[in-house]
Structure 1
Amino acid sequence: MKRFSVLLILIITLVCVPAYAALNLELTQGINAALPIAIIPFANEQANADGDQSITQIVTHDLQNSGQFRVEAPGMMTEQPTTLDQVDNEYWRKKNVDDVLIGQVKSLGNQQYRVSFQLVSTVDAAAKTTLLNLSFDAPRSGLRALAHHMSDLIYQQLTGARGVFSTKVAYVLVQRRRHQPTKYTLEVSDIDGFNPRALLVSTQPLMSPTWSPDGNSLAYVSFEGHQASIYLQNIATAQRQKLTQYPGINGAPAFSPDGKQLALVLTLTGNPKIYTYSLDTGKLMRITNGYSIDTEPAWAKDGKSLLFTSNRGGSPQIYRYYFDAGKIDRVTFDGNYNARASFMPNDQGIIMMHRETGLFGIARENLDSGEVDVLAQTGSDESPSLSPNGKMVIYATQYGGRGVLALVSTDGRVKLRLPAREGSVREPAWSPYLN
């Protein structure tokens, strides 16, 4: 498997500089029954957030790109209220708009702002219902983060599910340069692609980034020193430490739900096997045995079992190891290739890379029924990573001759693409909730 290829190593340099490529969301498919909402430009909204977008533009893009909302086009609104008493329910009912977002921005001086907003339901033509009425103070540099937080609140109020607009994504950017070594950059950005930050730049491969449960650190594989090693790196400080450098493969790290252990892949006895590694003591415990290739571990939310990929049945399939009983069950039977599985939030389903008709795609399997639903299938889809609310999957694919990231909802009805401006993007990892 390509993640286990041993390659020559040069020097890795720690950096904390702006990234060399940014990502842009592009909605390619939404749902028919999207929730209708009007987002009115806020009063006195002169201050732009980083990226030259206003607060209402950021909130609009967040909700629109979730695929769950139909945002009324500004040019179609002859009324643009900025206070509650200006909201005309009858007008919005005629436009089939159920909810209206209004707000105000007030400068407090010294690049500080107070942002107040109200989410108003217009479903009842006879009465206005204020669903949210909140106010926040933030510096200009924090307006983008505040806008994402507002989107999270609105999303949860109207859908019942927690929003993920304030989360992050880690990924590896690969830039192939003429007459120069290929450059690999481990980056973290907002989920909409803004605020990218390079944590590590190398002329040798970086792979398998994975988030700690508290969102403070990443574990990943680096090939520096002519040897695959697993590192742990603090995102805020960029400080890192080498965790493992055993002979052969050191790969596929995955944090336990309590953050105290990593599941990982080593070749201490020949073929790749699953181990657990204590972050406190460094103690290893072997999980799988035999002559098969076992890789890509992923923990259940209760920490009592692991998914992993194995060819012990002939082709790559998903298996589940139970810690208490020490037993292993096969999980997948549909398709001739299933890999990179992870549990959905309730542990009743999994998301995985899937191939059945010759094309690689992203699929969901119900663990009770065994039913498999293909969510996306372009032939080059890989490395799925689930959002913390279980509603979306980010994955790597090919578009326009380069590697890009894409998103699909776990019901398959919403699709987005995040094309890179430079280089190819791979190995995405969606962060946990960060607040």
Structure 2
Amino acid sequence: MLPALAQFRVEVSGVGLTQLPIALVPFRGQDASPQKISDIVQADLERSGQFRGVDASGQALDDASRPDWSLWRQRTADSLVGGSITRMADGRFDVKFRLWDVVKGQELGFQNYTVPQGDLRLVAHRIADFVYEKLTGEKGIFSTRIAYVTKGGSRYALWVADADGENAQAALASSEPIISPRWSADGQQLAYVSFESRKPVVYVHNVSSGQRRKVADFKGSNSAPAWSPDGGSLAVTLSRDGGSQLFTIPAGGGEPRRLTQSASIDTEPVYSADGGTIYFVSDRGGAPQIYKMGAGGGNPARVTFSGTYNISPSISGDGRWLAYISRVGGAFKLQVMELATGNVASITDTSADESPSFAPNSKLIVYATHLQGREALMTTTLDGKIKARLAGQAGDIREPDWGPFRKQ
């Protein structure tokens, strides 16, 4: 991994309909710490769209104190987090925190971490995950990772970062384009397309070791990799037999098996979470639309009917939602379809959206867009009400992909 160059600033905008008011008191000892734990936790929770921060200024509280319930009720907090961070003799940090229910006047949980300095951000994200799950009943995604590509001058880089965009590490740098990064379901590998040999070739990259291997380097174009949920194979778009068609190929490499037989361009495959269905883009009807078929091939069924140009499908892990990009007039807009009803909502007011990818809990989408004349990463709630900008400093940002839940 190369050193981190891309630093991010998170700006949250919008107001959700129901947000849980939570107070995060600055952790005792965090002024002397390299990471402000309570600030990171609060930013995570607010970015989710489910929480609203309550003013905790002027208050001291840690994991060993008992809260003054009347004070926090007066400040309209429903829940409360307090903790401490202590540097130990061996250089590691001891982080403790408690979560309280202010309405009921009772503790909801306590956790303790002992970690090296480099893991303090991860601990903050894990605290946010704990709070989110306790208060919403669903898994938090703050300790997950995203991958994305930047272009700065004539240099391209593939980055792996925390879900808030911080702590970015370069996995690959090249003078030729890198496109279509896709996480494996275990979070250990990234598939992507590199043009370093002056043509598109699909690679699989081990994120922790940096080792990589070619998976598809056939005659013509090799593009648009998508992992099967079991990690055993990839769906890819190959033009080796003429037009661009969908194939599956073993993740270790080998002979591809053709899935589609059409005179059209079939590309951008993505698997449903259960592995039984592949969604993809085809112009077989005259213009790009999203279709689906069984993972082994078969007769495709059209999924998108509104608009004349729909690309870049992403399926939520719970199987309920399809996110995609639609050309509306001259603008490219992020759309979310409820698959059961076919209802479609346009959820952005930007006009150059691209590459949507769902968080593993299906509650947020990361995408790239143009804001104020430059490319930026955004997250949005599925209703479009809460958006957060992850503003990078390392060139144009594109093609984000949200990784899976991390193993504890």
Question: After superposition, where does 1:125-140 map in structure 2 within 5 Å?
Answer: 128-140=105-117
Counterpart CA distance in 2 for 1:280 and 1:194 is 31
After TM superposition, the structure 1 stretch with the greater mean CA deviation from structure 2, 279-288 or 293-302, is: 279-288
1:209 corresponds to which of 158, 167, 181: 181
Question: Are the equivalent residues in 1 in contact too, given 2:259–2:297 (CA < 8 A)?
Answer: no
Q: CA deviation at 1:37?
A: 0.8
1:87 corresponds to which of 67, 85, 88: 67
After TM superposition, the structure 1 stretch with the greater mean CA deviation from structure 2, 351-360 or 204-213, is: 351-360
The letter for the 2-side match of 1:23 is F
1:170 aligns with 2:152: no
Question: Are the equivalent residues in 1 in contact too, given 2:216–2:253 (CA < 8 A)?
Answer: no
Question: Are the equivalent residues in 2 in contact too, given 1:334–1:356 (CA < 8 A)?
Answer: no
After TM superposition, the structure 1 stretch with the greater mean CA deviation from structure 2, 212-221 or 89-98, is: 89-98
1:20 aligns with 2:5: yes
For each residue in 1:358-401, what CA deviation from the matched residue of structure 2 results, as whole angstroms up to 9, or x when unmatched?
A: 42111111222111111224110011111101111111111222
1:34 aligns with 2:19: yes
Counterpart CA distance in 1 for 2:379 and 2:68 is 37
The letter for the 1-side match of 2:9 is N
Question: After superposition, where does 1:114-125 map in structure 2 within 5 Å?
Answer: 114-124=94-104
Question: Are the equivalent residues in 2 in contact too, given 1:360–1:377 (CA < 8 A)?
Answer: no
Match in the other structure for 1:422: 394
CA distance change for structure 1 residues 224 and 350 in 2, over 3 Å: closer, same or farther? Answer: same
Q: CA deviation at 1:165?
A: 0.9
Counterpart CA distance in 2 for 1:420 and 1:140 is 23
CA distance change for structure 1 residues 88 and 20 in 2, over 3 Å: closer, same or farther? Answer: closer
Question: Are the equivalent residues in 1 in contact too, given 2:9–2:392 (CA < 8 A)?
Answer: yes
Counterpart CA distance in 1 for 2:304 and 2:91 is 55
The letter for the 1-side match of 2:98 is Q
Question: Are the equivalent residues in 2 in contact too, given 1:92–1:122 (CA < 8 A)?
Answer: yes
Counterpart CA distance in 2 for 1:412 and 1:356 is 17
CA distance change for structure 1 residues 266 and 352 in 2, over 3 Å: closer, same or farther? Answer: same
1:112 corresponds to which of 75, 92, 98: 92
**Percentage identity across aligned positions?**
38
Task: Report the secondary structure of 1:351's partner residue.
Answer: strand
For each residue in 1:50-93, what CA deviation from the matched residue of structure 2 results, as whole angstroms up to 9, or x when unmatched?
A: xxx31112112211222221112343xx4433256531111211
1:63 corresponds to which of 38, 45, 67: 45
Task: Report the secondary structure of 2:132's partner residue.
Answer: helix
The letter for the 2-side match of 1:99 is S
Q: How many residues align?
A: 407
Counterpart CA distance in 1 for 2:322 and 2:377 is 20
Q: CA deviation at 1:33?
A: 2.4
Counterpart CA distance in 2 for 1:411 and 1:161 is 18
1:161 aligns with 2:133: no
CA distance change for structure 1 residues 37 and 148 in 2, over 3 Å: closer, same or farther? Answer: same
Question: Are the equivalent residues in 2 in contact too, given 1:341–1:350 (CA < 8 A)?
Answer: yes
For each residue in 1:114-144, what CA deviation from the matched residue of structure 2 results, as whole angstroms up to 9, or x when unmatched?
A: 22211011113xxx21111121211222211
Counterpart CA distance in 2 for 1:310 and 1:250 is 16
Task: Report the secondary structure of 1:379's partner residue.
Answer: coil
CA distance change for structure 1 residues 143 and 286 in 2, over 3 Å: closer, same or farther? Answer: same
Question: Are the equivalent residues in 2 in contact too, given 1:47–1:140 (CA < 8 A)?
Answer: no
Counterpart CA distance in 2 for 1:420 and 1:324 is 40
Counterpart CA distance in 2 for 1:276 and 1:208 is 16
1:378 aligns with 2:386: no
Task: Report the secondary structure of 1:174's partner residue.
Answer: strand
Stretches of structure 2 that go unaligned for 5 or more consecutive residues are: none
Question: Are the equivalent residues in 1 in contact too, given 2:194–2:201 (CA < 8 A)?
Answer: yes
Question: After superposition, where does 1:237-256 map in structure 2 within 5 Å?
Answer: 237-256=209-228
Task: Report the secondary structure of 1:56's partner residue.
Answer: helix
Q: Name the Cα RMSD after superposition.
A: 1.7
Task: Report the secondary structure of 1:61's partner residue.
Answer: helix
For each residue in 1:299-346, what CA deviation from the matched residue of structure 2 results, as whole angstroms up to 9, or x when unmatched?
A: 011111100001111111000011467221111101111111121122
For each residue in 1:240-280, what CA deviation from the matched residue of structure 2 results, as whole angstroms up to 9, or x when unmatched?
A: 11111111110000000000000000012221111100124
Question: Are the equivalent residues in 2 in contact too, given 1:35–1:68 (CA < 8 A)?
Answer: yes
1:230 corresponds to which of 176, 192, 202: 202
Stretches of structure 1 that go unaligned for 5 or more consecutive residues are: 1-15, 177-181
The letter for the 1-side match of 2:185 is P
TM-score (norm 2): 0.95
Q: CA deviation at 1:32?
A: 4.1
Question: After superposition, where does 1:348-363 map in structure 2 within 5 Å?
Answer: 348-363=320-335
CA distance change for structure 1 residues 430 and 395 in 2, over 3 Å: closer, same or farther? Answer: same
Question: Are the equivalent residues in 1 in contact too, given 2:246–2:260 (CA < 8 A)?
Answer: yes
Task: Report the secondary structure of 1:236's partner residue.
Answer: coil
Match in the other structure for 2:281: 309
TM-score (norm 1): 0.90
Q: CA deviation at 1:105?
A: 2.5
Question: Are the equivalent residues in 2 in contact too, given 1:30–1:68 (CA < 8 A)?
Answer: no
Counterpart CA distance in 1 for 2:325 and 2:116 is 42
1:143 corresponds to which of 120, 128, 140: 120
Question: Are the equivalent residues in 1 in contact too, given 2:25–2:59 (CA < 8 A)?
Answer: no
